[in-house]
Structure formats: structure tokens, C-alpha cells
Amino acid sequence: MSNQPTMRAQMKSGAGFIAALDQSGGSTPKALSLYGVEPSDYSSEAEMFQAMHDMRARIILADGFTSDKVIGAILFERTMNETITGKEVAKLLWEDRGVVPFLKIDKGLEDQAEDVQLLKPMPGLDDLLAQARAKGIFGTKERSVIHGANGQGIDKVVAQQFDVAQQVVDAGLVPIIEPEVNIHSPSKAKAEDLLLAALSAHLDALPQNAEVMLKLTLPDVAGLYDVLADHPNVLRIVALSGGYSTADACQKLSQNRKMIASFSRALTEGLNVRMSDAEFNAALGTQINQIYQASL
């Protein structure tokens, strides 16, 4: 795909952050509620997803949502197949906003076992990846969760993530590997040490031409993941906000110089459906500026 080298260069060294606009079915009601749209405001799943799409469209079309500060955006599969102002969302992001489009490909999480939650099976993944590539998507994202410092569980999470990542690489896309560490875990720091070791081992085993990105919880020890950012197979490391407030997430991010943000809830904090366009643009602009500065 002709745009791939330009997108890669932007993801490798562009100044800014990746917006996570990929809330799925399970997290949509909460995201809408924070935006001022309550369950009583919609009467079907279709209406709920339409309200979510309207919110995402408003964000993407906002004045501050351009590659000046937002270098990438992660989409939900449903969003990839929608349009905004009559244009496919991935094309609009890249052609009109200069923002590199990614796709969330996971189907949610398995129940917790060995202090982790693995990815649910992803039937039809090869077809989805082919469809994504045809629509101009650059890369993917798949999220697992680590709840405690259980070496066996963490090894299973990382092994599964890299199996999926290889499938994504083979399809000509760049995977964002996301083994989130729960910020409320009492053994968070130890879990992060175990995760670092597991990620390092799997990165060292990758073929030379396989390029991945990592999306990691902001670590208790600042700079913990710097060594991974310097790995030849890693294009970029991005940080998830994980439930921290925007201020806390940005403060922690600023201590990790080799990570940039990929925030979801922190990006939309303070936005409300009833805001005028001017109020909405100003509020979103404030969030974008704060996250951008912390990502520099």
C-alpha cells in the first residue's frame, strides 16, 4: 500500500500521541454516560452505537484533532465500516486529518485465571485483517489484562499476544501488543518486572523484518520500558491511561521519555453531548494539548 511508508515514518518519529477511540460493546455504555448520554436516552443497541459513532465523529472533526498533535487513532471494527461526512472513517482520518488509522481486533477477554485475562478466540481474523488493509488501516491493537505478578499467567499473555502479532505482521499490518497491567494490582511493580522479561524474550525471538508496537500501562518505575523502545523490532511504545485521571496519567507519562500516550477515557474527560461546538472544541483542545505536551 502506497501510504504505508509515510504512515510508518509518522508512527516511528512523529511528535504527538495516539487517540484510542475503540470502546467496544461492553465499555460503550460507560463511555456514553461520561459524555452525558444515559441508557434512558437510547432504546436499542443500534441507537447506542449510533450515539457512540456521533461522539467519535465529533471528536475526529474537531479543530484540534489533526496530525499536528494526534498522530494516530485506534478504531472499533464497527467504526471502520462507518462513514463520517460520507467518507470511510480510515480514509477521512488519513486523507483529511493526517492521522494514521489503527483497528482494535480483539473480541474481548476470557475470564480471569492465573491472575490474567487472555484474549478470547478471534475467528475470521485473517479476513478482518485483509478487509482492514483494503480500507487503509495501518495497524491493529489487541488487549489482554494482567491482574497480578503471576509468572505463568504473564508468560501465557505475552505468548498469545505474539502469536496474534505474527498473524498481523503476515497480513502486512503493524500490531500494537497490549498486555495491560491493572493499575489497582497490589503487585503491580513486580508484575511489570515479569512482563518486561517476557516481552524482551519474545522480541528477541522475532524475525528481523517483523515490526511491532507496544501499548503498556504507565509503570511504577519511571523509564522501566526504555530498553524495549530501543529494540530493533519495536516501532514505538505507547502508554495507556488505565483509569488514571488525565492529570495523573500525563504526570506519569512525562517521566517516561520513550513512551507517548494512547489514551481513551483521559482524552474524552470533561466532554459533554450538550456542549456547543465552540465549548466542545475548547474542552477537547485542552485535553489534546495536555496529552501532547506529556508525550513530547
The predicted-structure confidence for 194-210, as pLDDT tens digits, reads as follows: 999 999 999 999 999 99
pLDDT tens digits, residue range 27-47? 889 899 999 999 999 999 999
**pLDDT given for residue 167 in this prediction:** 98
Can you list the domains of the chain with their CATH numbers? 17-102+264-296 (3.20.20.70), 105-239 (3.20.20.70)
Give the number of C-alpha atoms closer than 13 A to the C-alpha of residue 152, restricted to the C-beta side.
3
C-alpha cell of residue 86: 460520507
DSSP the chain: -TTHHHHHHHHHH-SSEEEEE---TTTHHHHHHHTT--GGG-SSHHHHHHHHHHHHHHHHTSTT-STTTEEEEEE-HHHHTSEETTEEHHHIIIIIH--EEEEE----BPPPBTTEEPBPP-TTHHHHHHHHHHTT--EEEEEEEE-S--HHHHHHHHHHHHHHHHHHHHTT-EEEEEEEEPTT-TTHHHHHHHHHHHHHHHHHTS-TT--EEEEEEPPSSTTTTHHHHTSTTEEEEEEE-TT--HHHHHHHHTT-TT-EE--SHHHHTT--TTS-HHHHHHHHHHHHHHHHHHH-
pTM of the model: 0.95
pLDDT tens digits, residue range 166-197? 999 999 999 999 999 999 999 999 999 999 99
Q: Residue 217 above 70 pLDDT?
A: yes
**pLDDT given for residue 243 in this prediction:** 87
pLDDT tens digits, residue range 143-165? 999 999 999 999 999 999 999 99
- pLDDT average, residue stretch 228-247: 94
Q: What residues have CB less than 8 Å from 129, skipping those under 6 apart? A: 105, 140, 167, 168, 171, 173
pLDDT tier at 24 (50, 70, 90 boundaries)? confident
Q: Which residues are known catalytic residues?
A: 178, 215
Q: Residue 132 above 70 pLDDT?
A: yes
**pLDDT given for residue 156 in this prediction:** 98
**pLDDT given for residue 266 in this prediction:** 84
**pLDDT given for residue 2 in this prediction:** 65
pLDDT tens digits, residue range 246-294? 899 999 999 999 999 998 888 898 999 999 999 999 999 999 999 999 9
pLDDT, the chain, mean: 95
Q: What residues have CB less than 8 Å from 235, skipping those under 6 apart? A: 8, 11, 12, 174, 211, 212, 213
| Residue tagged 513486580 (cell numbers) | 190
